[in-house]
Amino acid sequence: MPMPSGPKAKLRARIAFVCLFVAFVGLSIGAYYVGDLGRFLPGTAARETHSALRAIGDPGRIDAASGQHPANPFQQLLAMATRAADDADTASEKLSSEVERPAIPGDINLGTASRAELDTLRGNLKTAEANATAFMPRYAALLKTERDTVENDARALHVEQASAGKLLDQLDRRQAEMTALMARLVSARAEFYGAYENYVAVLAGEFGNYKVVDGQFIFPFQRSVDRYNVAGHAMTVAARSVAELEQERQNLKRSQQAAWLRFVNGQ
């Protein structure tokens, strides 16, 4: 199956809910199909799911409860903790989106890209890989700020130590679960950016030698086909890993939201 180089191959920055299917061909002029790889670009998935999964709890519901019990310090703390969680979630999504700075082009056509465009894309991918590698310490700092805020609010409200402790335990479990998953996700993102850069490097190295015919790259030598296929396969595998982990992250956020609401309701 040929690799598309026309409009259908344009990279559209999407990840979630998509599988990428690949196939090798054995012709000496052969090519490799990687589909719409842009669906796996990690930068936009967080933005697409943010509106649906943004809150760890239900701020309106909990604020209403605290309004009905204004003299109840623990209800007030629950509302504050929910807002702190929402703020941390918003900040982490923003941090995640900043991994792709400079932005990875979402509409580049690799079949018609110039050598300069390929080199620019490679540079941006290297930067994204480095940003993803450096993500976790910054993410951990956001979570620490959230926990410190809740702990300080509990002291300020003079919430009973046992009740505050239960709330902090709930927060610690949630943060530990998400931290473990985010470490895997950003590692997969870094691997994807590296694999994508290697793939573009093959095209840049072969620039001027290949042709694009009927939507496929045509190389003059088998060794070039082999390098292209290996790079494309590595990129595909890395992309699929990112997509699967992003889906796992969405599922975990839903599960954590349900657990938080049960905790708020005293279940």
* 129 residue type, one letter: E
Helix axes 115-133, 161-205, angle to 10 degrees: 160
153: its two tokens: 């609010």
Alpha-carbon distance of 198 to 126, in angstroms, equals: 10
Alpha-carbon distance of 231 to 32, in angstroms, equals: 10
> With b meaning 16 or more CB within 10 Å and e meaning fewer, what string describes 181-206?
bbeebbbbbbbbbbbbbbbbbbbbeb
Alpha-carbon distance of 246 to 128, in angstroms, equals: 17
pLDDT score at 176: 97
pLDDT tens track, the chain, 267 positions: 334 343 333 333 222 222 232 222 232 334 443 434 444 455 544 444 333 333 344 444 444 444 454 568 999 999 999 999 999 999 999 999 999 988 887 677 899 999 999 999 999 999 999 999 999 999 999 999 999 999 999 999 999 999 999 999 999 999 999 999 999 999 999 999 999 999 999 999 999 999 988 878 899 999 999 999 999 999 999 999 999 999 999 999 999 999 998 888 875
pLDDT score at 71: 60
The pTM (predicted TM-score) of the whole model is: 0.75
Report how far apart, in Å, the C-alpha atoms of 199 and of each of 122, 128, 195 are.
Answer: 9, 15, 6
Alpha-carbon distance of 8 to 4, in angstroms, equals: 7
